[in-house]
Structure 1
Amino acid sequence: MKDETKEVSMDGTERKGTSRRGFLTTTLAAGGALAGAGLARAQGAPDPLITEVQSWAQGWGDGVDATPYGLPIHYESDVVRRNVSWLTADAISSINFTPIHALDGTITPQGCAFERHHSGAIELSKADYRLMINGLVDTPLVFTYEDLERFPRVTRTFFLECAANTGMEWAGAQLNGAQFTHGMIHNMEYTGVPLRTLLEEAGVKPEGKWIYVEGADASSNGRSIPLEKAMDDCLVAFKANGEALRKEHGYPVRLVVPGWEGNMWVKWLRRVEVGDQPWESREETSKYTDTLEDGTSRKWTWVMDAKSVITSPSPQSPIKHGPGPLVITGLAWSGRGSIARVDVSLDGGKTWKEARLAAPGQDKALTRFYFDHVWDGSEMLLQSRAIDSTGYVQPTKTELRAFRGVNSIYHNNCIQTWWVKASGEAENVEVS
């Protein structure tokens, strides 16, 4: 008996289809290889790559000291950060994008994690590093890098998302790739000292309500943060994914502001000043401006709302085999908590099915989701929809535009649509 399941077509009608197990069982039983899928070869069809000794098994490989700091094998040389040449006038103040379409799991390797600079990545040694805490404190303090290492530390995993992530999609489908539409994000395991610990060491005065943080680079990138957030979950981090921060990520020390827009995660952190109000008079905005349809602007939109994207299949990760078993996968996240559920649509949002989470959602961290499907070769309009622990549901572009208009380039957390063609190629499109 053939293993069958019901599937929903593009017009919303149900039809019977062969399940993943049924596809494998019937195809292999027929004595032939999976047509175009490349999943397995049936008995009686010798494959020299498995039946014969290959060149790589006939000699010695590299010694253990061939690459003192390990690098990906050259077959994976395309898994790199990329920029958009016309995005900014100079790379010194620009952005590159994480290759999310080529990664799995949730942890972003530092070497692939997107970077944003306002005046270029500087070289600052641990020996020359200093962090000052001043302002409305009992005792102004200056810490060296070695001082920070002596405090009790914690390790936490958080995502960092630029407020402009997906920003070029407000007016319509623009960039053809998940790396470029959603790649201003990374998710790393940070190790450091809670900012609260250092503020308590200095002794915050009762009238202290805000902090002003700045970096050691030429831009300083000064930002105001409410003291409540600073005392909650902010970290003064000196490690990421178990190793020292990379130069482009703020070596030797950066600020981590979980769930809030990436411009507040000040790199090369040099000073934290406690005050009784935000420092907007110092020409820092504490935010990127979100201009609405009526011309007004939202203030202090720090938190990144729930969002998701299918990373494969997608324009940079097309289906390379024919009809058959297909793993649809992507990422979901929320700055307000954890991801509770992700739904996937194959027909542009007409019908939805629940995806499976690779692991329970973590607070303010990326969550990987999978949807196991048997593709019949027909076109699909792929979408994903995130629901976070607060009950917030990721909106469609239409819903978001109705409230926000198209004047902003920030905080675009709309549902993304990929048009998967019969050829397996995918394209960035919009659906009404």
Structure 2
Amino acid sequence: MIETSRYISNTVQELQPSGIRRFFDLAANMEGVISLGVGEPDFVTSWNVREASILSLEQGFTSYTANAGLIELREEIGSYLSSRFSINYHPKHELFVTVGASQALDLALRAIINPGEEVIVPEPCFVAYGPLVTLSGGKPVPLATNVKSDFKLTVEQLEKSITPQTKALLLCSPSNPTGSVYSKEELQEIAAIVDKNDLLVISDEIYAELTYDDTFTSFASLEGMKDRTILISGFSKGFAMTGWRLGFVAAESKLLASMLKIHQYSMMCAPTMAQYAALEALRNGLEDVEAMKKSYRRRRNLFVESLNEMGLTCHHPGGAFYAFPSISATGMTSEQFAEQLLLQEKVAVVPGHVFGPSGEGFIRCSYASSLEHLQEALNRIQRFLKK
């Protein structure tokens, strides 16, 4: 047999597997586990949305769409962004449909990064950010945030991190894993630094619909920032459509065209039946989004208040569906805490260090689960702490 590992690229060999997967795999082999680890809604996609997809199949709409997606879907996305977030994009030249927000992020990075260029990545952050920068040939520059700043990047940090090689800032609001949401004023301060240093911003807004206490502000909606922003979003979180794998990207026409070239060669187009589902979701699904949002708010309030009461200090997440409590009082590392909680009490959470070194001492808990399951998980966590 040949030694096949020598054929694998050095970049891929050095890439670490996702830290989340180990705990998912452990939990998958255990009975009676309550999982607070999965970052997806517990709601089923609305029936009218599923029905629209079924109807598209029955009508025989099974061929490719345009590379950029159905024009009627792009028009609907444009209307949605305009009415919901006060940003106007041309549906033919500044929008296209992707296979999830993850593909949009990959396309954005590959389209703009030259070898060795830097992308600033505030941490704790979604586990894919750094590896995707690396795979694009760039260099991720992690910036550690902390609970004192509500896990938000400060302008002082940003200014100090910029070098002649800096190309872009990767921003996520509401945040995975912390649930933090940047205010309009905070984004305006960041925008001034971005403009002064001639940077791009890749703005991951996949949780935009799940903002609970304040009005969500899209980075692209700020004065002068639309042409500097690659806006990434999709249907997975707000519309409970994770398995449909449908996202979209919005950007200035030349930036968008560069991403579309890669998309044409690597993916062709997003699944046709999923696009018809998304079309229905935008036209007739926003009431369901609001209902889910109200449910998540109730769950957040219960879960975060209970964590604080039992001594796991947790900041108040303004969006997404994650709590990010500190477990430092236990004297355990994040990994030790998560592993022992799973083995002893069958509750799956994600250790904070997988989201970057600044996540050590914390765990990520998804409250996108029924109130019954959340209450039982809280009982088990409290029992674990008493031991």
Length-normalised TM-score, structure 2: 0.26
Q: Which has the larger radius of gyration?
A: 1
**Larger RCO (CA under 8 A, 6+ residues apart):** 2
More strand by share: 1
| TM-score, structure 1 as length reference | 0.24
Higher helix share: 2
